[in-house]
Structure 1
Amino acid sequence: MFDKDKMLQLCNDWSKNTLMETLEIEYIDAGEDFLTAKMPVNPRVHQPMGLLHGGASVALAESVGSAASIMFVNPEKSEVRGIEISANHLKAKRDGMVYATAKIVHKGRSIHLWEIRITDENDSLVCLCKLTNMILPRKER
């Protein structure tokens, strides 16, 4: 049975001392086939012209899509690796908040394909991404 609160807590705990914490990404909603996070748009994620950096959008998308794959695997037995990501940057954003929602397109045993929509506070599409994750057996560390 899917436990939304447990999933969100797990994702937010894993973000400590990582790029996700640096970018202030916070996981805020989850369901059986989606995961949503938010990220503030401020100078920390700007490019030199004062706009949301495309790389920050891609980092947000990959973070959400990779974390979402954890919903379908046993993290004690499997690891998730992003192997391909593409992004279409559709709207400039200077400040406020962006929200990324990853929805599963294909859920195989070894490959997951996600569509990640990044929107603003008005639900306007800022960036559309596609992420492919490979599911690998967990190695001893």
Structure 2
Amino acid sequence: MSDASPDTRSLDVINARSEGTLPGHLGIVITAQRPGEIEAELPIAPHLMAPNGFLHAGSILTLADTAAGYGCMANLPEGAQSFTTLEIKSNHLATAREGRLRCVATMVHGGRSTQLWDAKVMHAETGKTLALFRCTQMVLYPRG
């Protein structure tokens, strides 16, 4: 029997899904899951940087999209099988060169056919907001 709490086991399962995919390759880790909310972190590393020496905007966007995606999966309506992203919007306010990124994604709308998620990406150590993100997810159902 595991000594891990139910929440820890749940996070282990979520993070195991990332292995062998882009979120796992980049180093994104889901750190908390609550109804309608997901938190994730990403250590800043050289492979996340743009050629100009600053954090690549795509790295920030991938963190936010991953958090919103896992949030959507955890909050699918009954009978739904999966989801796909319909639209993404991000506003980048600042950048970073070291430390960790922290993202909090929150469900704004949880309908039967779509979900709308907002995410805020911050520098974990300073709390400075780096980007604001919004995405629309289409809920997918099995054919039948």
What is the TM-score when the length of structure 1 is the normalising length?
0.90
* Structure 1 position 119, deviation (Å): 0.5
Q: Does 1:124 align with 2:128?
A: yes
Q: Paired residue for 1:27?
A: 30
Question: Aligned letter for 1:58?
Answer: L
The answer (yes or no) to whether the contact 1:24–1:40 under 8 Å persists in 2 is yes
* Structure 1 position 37, deviation (Å): 0.6
The answer for unaligned runs of 5 or more in structure 1 is: none
Give matches, 1:86-101, under 5 Å. Answer: 86-101=89-104
Selected match of 1:40 from 43, 66, 70: 43
The answer (yes or no) to whether the contact 1:25–1:39 under 8 Å persists in 2 is yes
CA RMSD of aligned residues (A): 1.8
The answer (yes or no) to whether the contact 1:4–1:31 under 8 Å persists in 2 is no
The answer (yes or no) to whether the contact 2:18–2:24 under 8 Å persists in 1 is yes
The answer for unaligned runs of 5 or more in structure 2 is: 1-5
Q: Paired residue for 1:110?
A: 113
* Structure 1 position 76, deviation (Å): 8.2
Aligned length: 137
Q: How far apart, CA to CA, are the structure 1 residues paired with 2:78 and 2:16?
A: 14
Q: How far apart, CA to CA, are the structure 2 residues paired with 1:9 and 1:131?
A: 25
Q: Paired residue for 2:3?
A: none
Q: What percent of counterpart residues are identical?
A: 27
Q: Paired residue for 1:78?
A: 81
Q: Does 1:18 align with 2:21?
A: yes
Question: Aligned letter for 2:7?
Answer: K
Q: How far apart, CA to CA, are the structure 2 residues paired with 1:9 and 1:104?
A: 22
* Structure 1 position 43, deviation (Å): 0.9
Q: How far apart, CA to CA, are the structure 2 residues paired with 1:104 and 1:74?
A: 13
